[in-house]
């Protein structure tokens, strides 16, 4: 059993107990659950609407604890872009979801800069663990025979997450205005440079990869 988008302290505890009992369960959470709480609703506005809903600060802290002790196996972006127009209006009428793929790594690197987690931890929960879970033997590590998927980071680089810098069809994020120290500056996909200094390089290089586990 793999559980997506864990957002509550209760969920973390149930998964922790199940793993202790030998139940073959894995789970992930998302950046918005790790970096936002109900305290941010008024500040962020409708952009904060996601499913499951973002909960209390106590839930946020429990998710971090679960990620650090291995109860939660990895972090997934839950990238769900909408147009700017779609995200305007009543909180009860607009669609849920936000773009998350471009801000996920900077947010996690920011935690490294603050001394709250390590770079090996970030590699484990963003790359190594999901590759292992889904059976992508050619991904998740730098080694002979693996795909040369490599991200080079500058841990001294300080930059602000801004809507206008995003490359998604939805140039809006709940993290707009957040200052981060630690940014990816080069991204290689199968050995080919695809992003440099916050801009996309060349034409799309992505390929559909079927999951051998399912």
Model confidence pLDDT, tens digit, residues 96-136: 998 899 999 999 999 999 999 999 999 999 999 999 999 99
How far, rounded to the nearest angstrom, does the alpha carbon of residue 111 sit from its chain's CA centroid? Answer: 13
Cβ(69)–Cβ(117) below 8 Å: no
**Nearest-angstrom CA–CA distance, 157 and 49:** 30
pLDDT of 213 > 70? The answer is no
Reported pTM: 0.94
Exposure b/e, 122-136, CB count within 10 A at least 16 = b: bbbbbbbbbbbbbeb
pLDDT of 191 > 90? The answer is yes
pLDDT reported for residue 90: 84
Cβ(112)–Cβ(102) below 8 Å: no
- Percent of the chain at pLDDT exceeding 70: 99
Q: Which residues are catalytic?
A: 78
Minimum mean pLDDT range among 14-23, 34-43, 112-121, 161-170: 161-170
**Nearest-angstrom CA–CA distance, 169 and 81:** 7
């Amino acid at each position: 059993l793999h559980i997506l988008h864990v957002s509550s302290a209760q969920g973390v505890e149930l998964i922790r107990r199940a793993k202790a009992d030998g139940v073959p369960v894995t789970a992930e959470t998302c950046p918005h659950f790790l970096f936002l709480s109900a305290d941010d609703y008024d500040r962020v506005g409708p952009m904060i609407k996601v499913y499951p809903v973002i909960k209390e600060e106590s839930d946020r802290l429990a998710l971090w604890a679960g990620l650090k002790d291995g109860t939660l196996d990895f972090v997934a972006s839950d990238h769900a872009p909408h147009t700017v127009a779609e995200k305007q209006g009543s909180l009860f009428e607009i669609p849920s979801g936000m773009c998350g793929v471009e801000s996920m790594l900077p947010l996690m690197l920011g935690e490294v800069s603050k001394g709250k987690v390590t770079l090996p931890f970030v590699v484990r929960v963003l790359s190594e663990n999901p590759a292992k879970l889904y059976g992508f033997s050619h991904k998740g590590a730098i080694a002979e025979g693996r795909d040369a998927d490599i991200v080079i980071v500058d841990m001294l680089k300080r930059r602000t997450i801004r809507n206008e810098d995003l490359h998604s069809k939805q140039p809006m994020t709940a993290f707009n205005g957040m200052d981060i120290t630690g940014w990816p500056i080069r991204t290689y996909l199968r050995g080919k440079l695809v992003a440099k200094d916050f801009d996309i390089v060349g034409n799309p290089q992505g390929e559909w990869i079927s999951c051998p586990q399912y």
